[in-house]
Copies of this chain bind each other. A is one copy, B any other.
Amino acid sequence: MPPATPVRVGIIGATGYVGGELIRLLAAHPAVELVGLTGRERRGDPVGSVHPHLATTELELESELDGEVDAVFLALPHGTAAQRVPELLQRGTTVIDQGPDFRLRDAADYPRWYGFQHPHPELLRSAVYGLPELHRAELVAAGAARAAGTPALVGSPGCYPTATLLALAPLARAGLIADVVVDAKSGVSGAGREAKAEMLFAEVNESVRAYGVFSHRHTAEMEQELGALAAGTAGDTGTGDPAGVRGLDFLPHLIPMTRGILTACHVRPSRPVTQAELDTLYAEAYGDEPFVTVVDTPPATGHVLGSNHVRVFVRSDERTQRIIAIAVIDNLVKGAAGQGVQAFNLVFGLDEAAGLGALPLAP
């Protein structure tokens, strides 16, 4: 049942792939009125001039948000959101930041991984890491504060961390990870819409390559959250490494597809674990989750295309004494815009799945 008054929502940075995906989801959201879309030097341009697939929405782009909004989604390059968020919060606007500027708790991680000094480290403490499956209570609490007058700030997770954390959370929480290697495969839409020669069709097609070897920025998020889970305190930034996950070996690959992330987590368990034990752990973790399904055959990214769904698979092996945990997502939905909407729903007291009901598209 939509609320009598829809939530007025703006999108800053509506011209990229995440921006387009936010429009696609929010234009059809039953409790949202999309009142402002901004893109640089885009005064009055129809959305269809930038996103031809959205031409029928008849929305327009503006250079600046004008008019009051209750919430704003930011889809901006890293470092940019950090500059703009304080003013938005001061105006009383709740912020869902799709970028990395409010994901990390330790301000020192920003110069280390992103190469900039965070201009507002004080906000890192109050921001919520917007992965509902791990931080739902905090999102709901931020929503309560919002209703009481304090706008919320959500740092929506990166695409790789989303898949990886959902694959590993039950193991991390149970203290079962002695060692882990995360090997991920992604479609190229995660690289954004800027024209780069290396992302041309002719360069990407019929080829696969690793990148960001030992240096991908998402490593920081994964270490933070896995450490917290293992420490038994989500959000904790303790310097210990009870989970054996500091110094995470994370290796992403670009594969010739547009959407989708598959993350394969190779775990050396801290003690022998049976498949039955894993099945119970994962069923307990995800049995009530609206978007996570545990499956017993290796899932394909094609099974979740265009949806906010997650498929998680876990297998224990006696011969090798290892566990492999796999998760698949659509990087632009559960890995970006859909996840932002899911957190937004929680913060605004809406049905968590509102606007996210689309089934995956296959074949």
Give A residues with C-beta under 8 Å from B: 17, 20, 24, 27-28, 51-57, 179, 181, 183, 185, 187-189, 193-197, 199-211, 213-214, 247-249, 251, 253, 255-260, 262, 264, 266, 268, 293, 295, 298-307, 309, 311, 315, 317, 319-322, 324, 326, 328, 357-363
Contacts and interface: CB of A to CB of B under 8 A. Distances in A.
A201 B357 contact: no
Contacts of A311: 55
Contacts of A257: 205-208, 255-256
B202 A17 contact: yes
B197 A201 contact: no
Contacts of A259: 206, 363
A298 to B, nearest CB: 4
A214 B264 contact: no
A199 B201 contact: yes
B209 A300 contact: yes
A306 B54 CA distance: 12
Contacts of A179: 179, 268
Given A213-B298, A249-B266, A255-B256, 11 more contacts: A17-B202, A28-B357, A56-B359, A185-B255, A187-B202, A206-B260, A208-B255, A210-B298, A247-B320, A251-B324, A259-B363
Closest 10 CB pairs of A and B: A207-B302, A209-B300, A202-B363, A183-B183, A53-B362, A53-B360, A201-B204, A214-B317, A247-B320, A195-B195
Contact of A57 (B206, B299, B359): B359
